[in-house]
């Protein structure tokens, strides 16, 4: 828990399309998505960018692992750092050197694999301020061990490139229960415990800014804690699985006999996610953390149709680098 009143200077991020660069690096399908979502933003106020919308630890060609960012008054608040998160920030024109806050929902690798790397990549991109990170235990140990693992490189770059020492810049905060996590001039962040066995604790986060409320479910089954946290929110960014497609998914993954049991017992189906959104009374439901992440036979309409079974508000089928 922490209350900070120190204002961070307000800056506008460089906006604009990087579609040309992306074209040489991405598959045709992802490129088409990126072109659509990277159009220069005309929005003012709090921004939400989906950096990665895939669920699960296996890298794939369609969706990056989980990561999202809220930008309020020019300050990025990164939520989860799945593999590829730093590069997605670059694609989204979020200067890594402006890193300030990271929130980890839980310690599954598709949410924290690049946690240390985001900090490191910010450092080599010119960051030299302070980064505060929040998440369940053992985030302090994870931070310490990451910095130790990379100490050889870090210690060489300090004299060789004239960089400031990284270790004193990183401040991890462990949270073990729901409640207020951070309050700044711009944003109030609140956490709630969610149900994602066997990972415990696992959190959802709510961001309230002057003009928007955004809730991230993290990974969870439908649960009261999340529904309470998300009451009346403008946006609920929620994980989702397509249960009828899981058998097909599992047939492609060797040596994962108990995976089906885990997925069904700790996530939310594309039908139930609409019930959660309805019970929370949110305005817009944003689907993310798609499982399967890379089944091209699952159309946007199929995801949407399930979510709309019980929810009458707006549903957005999330895509990497989409700004909402
Ligand atoms: Zn996950
Ligand atoms: Zn998980």
Ligand 2: distance of its center to the CA of 278 in Å? 23
- Neighbour count for residue 87 (Cβ, 10 Å): 17
Instruction: Give yes or no for residue 143 having a pLDDT over 70.
Output: yes
Give the ligand at the shortest distance from the Cα of 266.
2
Give the ligand at the shortest distance from the Cα of 107.
2
**Pick from 100-104, 214-218, 254-258, 308-312: least confident:** 254-258
Can you give the pLDDT at residue 266? 96
Ligand 2: distance of its center to the CA of 144 in Å? 22
**Band of residue 43 on the pLDDT scale cut at 50, 70, 90:** low
Give the ligand at the shortest distance from the Cα of 240.
1
- pLDDT of 69-85, one tens digit each? 999 999 999 999 999 99
Beta strand extents in the chain (DSSP E only): 2-3, 47-52, 67-72, 75-79, 101-103, 131-135, 170-174, 179-183, 188-196, 199-208, 213-216, 235-241, 284-291, 314-317, 322-323
**Pick from 91-100, 130-139, 158-167, 251-260: least confident:** 251-260
Ligand 1: distance of its center to the CA of 54 in Å? 8
Count of residues making up the chain:
324
- pLDDT of 233-285, one tens digit each? 999 999 999 999 988 888 888 877 788 888 889 999 999 999 999 999 999 99
Ligand 2: distance of its center to the CA of 180 in Å? 22
Can you give the pLDDT at residue 17? 36
Ligand 2: distance of its center to the CA of 19 in Å? 31
Interaxial angle between packed helices 272-280 and 300-307, expressed in degrees from 0 to 180 and rounded to the nearest 10: 50
Can you give the pLDDT at residue 4? 44
Give the ligand at the shortest distance from the Cα of 54.
1
- 255, 234, 233, 243: which is closest to 291 by C-alpha? 243
Ligand 1: distance of its center to the CA of 157 in Å? 34
- 32, 129, 33, 49: which is closest to 93 by C-alpha? 49
Ligand 1: distance of its center to the CA of 55 in Å? 5
Ligand 2: distance of its center to the CA of 106 in Å? 7
Instruction: Give yes or no for residue 27 having a pLDDT over 70.
Output: no
Ligand 2: distance of its center to the CA of 196 in Å? 7
Can you give the pLDDT at residue 22? 39
Instruction: Give yes or no for residue 33 having a pLDDT over 70.
Output: no
Instruction: Give yes or no for residue 44 having a pLDDT over 90.
Output: no
Ligand 1: distance of its center to the CA of 164 in Å? 34
Give the ligand at the shortest distance from the Cα of 289.
1
Can you give the pLDDT at residue 248? 85
Mean pLDDT of 288-307: 95
Instruction: Give yes or no for residue 1 having a pLDDT over 70.
Output: no
Mean pLDDT of 108-135: 97
**Band of residue 39 on the pLDDT scale cut at 50, 70, 90:** very low
Can you give the pLDDT at residue 246? 87
Mean pLDDT of 164-189: 97
**Band of residue 3 on the pLDDT scale cut at 50, 70, 90:** very low
Mean pLDDT of 39-65: 87
**Pick from 12-16, 30-34, 108-112, 281-285: least confident:** 12-16
**Pick from 28-42, 92-106, 211-225: least confident:** 28-42
Mean pLDDT of 222-235: 98
What average pLDDT does the structure give for the chain? 89
**Band of residue 12 on the pLDDT scale cut at 50, 70, 90:** very low
- 151 CB-near residues (< 8 Å, 6+ apart): none
Instruction: Give yes or no for residue 209 having a pLDDT over 90.
Output: yes
Give the ligand at the shortest distance from the Cα of 53.
1
- pLDDT of 185-202, one tens digit each? 989 999 999 999 999 999
Residue 56, Ramachandran bin (φ over 0: left; ψ between -120 and 50: alpha; else beta): left
Question: Which positions are annotated as active-site residues?
Answer: 110
């Amino acid at each position: 828990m922490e209350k900070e009143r120190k204002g961070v200077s307000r800056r506008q991020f460089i906006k604009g399309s990087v579609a040309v660069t992306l074209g040489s690096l991405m598959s045709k399908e992802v490129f088409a998505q990126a072109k659509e979502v990277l159009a220069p933003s005309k929005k003012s106020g709090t921004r939400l960018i989906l950096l990665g919308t895939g669920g699960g630890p296996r890298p794939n060609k369609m969706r990056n692992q989980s990561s999202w960012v809220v930008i309020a008054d020019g300050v990025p608040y990164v939520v989860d750092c799945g593999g590829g998160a730093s590069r997605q920030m670059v694609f989204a024109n979020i200067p890594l050197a402006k890193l300030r806050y990271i929130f980890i929902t839980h310690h599954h690798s598709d949410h924290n694999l690049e946690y240390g790397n985001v900090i490191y990549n910010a450092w080599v991109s010119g960051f030299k301020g302070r980064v505060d990170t929040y998440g369940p235990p053992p985030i302090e140990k994870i931070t310490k061990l990451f910095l130790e693992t990379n100490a050889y490189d870090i210690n060489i770059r300090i004299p060789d490139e004239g960089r400031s020492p990284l270790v004193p810049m990183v401040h991890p905060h462990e949270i073990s229960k729901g409640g207020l996590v951070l309050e700044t001039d711009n944003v109030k962040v609140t956490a709630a415990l969610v149900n994602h066995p066997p990972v415990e604790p696992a959190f959802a986060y709510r961001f309230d800014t002057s003009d928007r409320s955004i809730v991230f479910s993290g990974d969870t089954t439908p649960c009261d804690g999340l529904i309470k946290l998300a009451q009346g929110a403008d946006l609920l960014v929620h994980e989702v699985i397509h249960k009828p497609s899981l058998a097909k998914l599992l047939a492609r993954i060797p040596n994962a006999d108990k995976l089906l049991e885990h997925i069904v017992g700790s996530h939310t189906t594309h039908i139930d996610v609409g019930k959660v959104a309805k019970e929370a009374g949110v305005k817009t439901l944003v689907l993310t953390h798609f499982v399967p992440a890379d089944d091209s036979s699952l159309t946007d309409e199929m995801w949407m149709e399930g979510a709309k079974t019980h929810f009458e508000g707006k549903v957005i089928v999330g895509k990497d680098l989409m700004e909402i």
